[in-house]
Amino acid sequence: MRNTTIAALLLTVFSTSALALDNVTIFGTVDMGYRWSGKNIDPMVGSQSRIDSGTSVPSRLGFQGSEDIGNGLKASFVLEAAVDAGTGELTGGGGFSRQAFVALGGRFGRIALGRQYTPGYLLTSEIDPFSSVTVGQYNNVYLTEYRWDNQATYFSPDWQGFSVSAAYTANGYGQESIANRGSGAVGDVRGLSVVPQYRNGPLLLGVHLQELNSRTSGLDASGTPVAVSYDGKKVRVYEAGGTLDLGVAKLAALYGVRRAGTADFSPDTGALAGKNSRQWLVGATLPVGSHGTVLTSYVRRSTELADGAGDAKADQWAVGYEYALSKRTALYTTYSSVNNNAAGRDAGFISAVGAGYNPGNGYQRSAAAGIRHNF
């Protein structure tokens, strides 16, 4: 409650300041809808109906601004908080948990410091027809990293359609610990992500190379030794994909490989039961009339279980429709279905249909409909 109150006070201060400054703007999204979930992985759990915030896009409130400081340089910042529009509370950890960074740009490109999206996520979520939101989001099945704390990112200028972004963090999931050792099963996680990409009219092509390196003491929070240590272990990611807009349809394809030394210890994926993974996506976006859009995708992943008990396999197909009432307001509906094989269910390593900050909770079917307004 105290953190929520402090964060609310900060939002008030920033909003008051923003009204007096031409170079600071308030932005955000309010999204509410109905969501049904069914076919839980546990046959004893029934279906669920609820009115949710963020059934298409997570509701949020943010502030951004920039300043020309001369010699071709521009300073900028973003502070973005996650909001549950159903309760009015801050979500996602509270505060400006979505993004919080300051940047400096010029002819050399742009350097940003703080909590940000990883370059790999910026690429792969753009390829996903559902843009990594709604119950059809690719990351219900596809393993990926979203944001890192303490991240330094470089965005190059555009060289005739070709550009590069690269990010590094000494600990992407919290503050660095003493002697570079964590107090939990996985300690400081160093991350490096590099994305070269090419844009030319209707074509986008990109490659993502990433490495995570974990340091741990092998102790839990109480100092008790844990069974598995990931000291110096790595998770390497190799991905390639793109989109092609043909006018009548925008086609999308993505293929990725994750290779883990012991287990996929990434806090974003929650895949400690898994080791190496192969995953891919195909999809399409089709305009319907002047205001409508049909979205569809199919995603599949196969993960070698860390204990050698086989491969956990999951796939998802999704279809959705959006109708733009205006440039900032839209109605939407989406349906998604996930299937997990027996090896994944036995190991407890399953995929479920979630949306934004709404978890899947073991459900393998979900439908949602609602309204979204951007400001």
Q: Of the given ranges (22-26, 150-154, 198-202, 341-345), which has the lowest mean pLDDT?
A: 22-26
* Domain count for the chain: 1
Q: Are 63 and 98 within 8 A, CB to CB?
A: no
**So what's the pLDDT on residue 356?**
80
Give 136's pLDDT tier (boundaries 50, 70, 90).
Answer: very high
4 belongs to a structural domain? no
Q: Tell me the H-state helices in 212-368.
A: 342-347
| Mean pLDDT of all residues in 287-303 | 97
What is the per-residue DSSP string for 153-222?
EEEPPPBTTEEEEEEEES-TTSPPPGGG-BSSSS--EEEEEEEEEEEETTEEEEEEEEEEEE-B-SB-TT
Q: In this model, does residue 257 exceed pLDDT 80?
A: yes
Write down the pLDDT at residue 19: 45
Residue 186: band (very low, low, confident or very high) from pLDDT cuts 50, 70, 90: low
* Band of pLDDT at residue 272, cut at 50, 70 and 90: confident
- How far apart (Å, rounded) are the C-alpha atoms in residues 224 and 179? 18
User: Is residue 305 assigned to a domain?
Assistant: yes
For residue 2, name the pLDDT band (cuts at 50, 70, 90): very low
Has residue 175 got a pLDDT over 90? no
Task: State pLDDT tens for residues 330-365.
Answer: 999 999 999 999 999 999 999 999 998 888 999 999
Residue percentage of the chain with pLDDT more than 70:
87
* CB-CB contact of 91 with 37 (8 Å): no
DSSP helix/strand/coil, 127: helix
pLDDT value at position 9? Answer: 47
Q: Has residue 267 been placed in a domain? A: yes
Domain CATH for 212: 2.40.160.10
pLDDT in tens, 8-67: 545 554 454 444 455 899 999 999 999 999 999 999 999 999 999 999 999 999 999 999
Q: What local confidence, expressed as pLDDT, does residue 227 receive?
A: 46
Choice between 374 and 356, residue whose per-residue pLDDT is larger: 374
CA distances 186 to 63, 173, 176, 231, 264, Å, are: 33, 10, 12, 8, 11
Residue 45 lies in a domain: yes
**pLDDT tens column, 234-252:** 999 999 999 999 999 999 9
Q: Across residues 135-151, what is the average pLDDT?
A: 97
- Higher-confidence position of 1 and 115: 115
Q: What is the mean pLDDT of the chain?
A: 89
Is 66 inside a domain boundary? no
Residue ranges with strand state E in 98-146: 99-106, 109-117
116: pLDDT strictly greater than 70: yes
- The most confident of the ranges 147-156, 166-175, 221-230 is 147-156
What does the pLDDT read at residue 169? 96
Q: What per-residue confidence (pLDDT) applies to 53?
A: 94
Across the range 247-259, mean pLDDT stands at 98
3-state secondary structure of 308: coil
Domain extent, residue 281, equals: 32-55+113-374
Span 267-286, average pLDDT: 94
User: Is 2 a domain residue?
Assistant: no
Structural domain contains residue 17: no
Q: Is residue 159 part of a domain?
A: yes
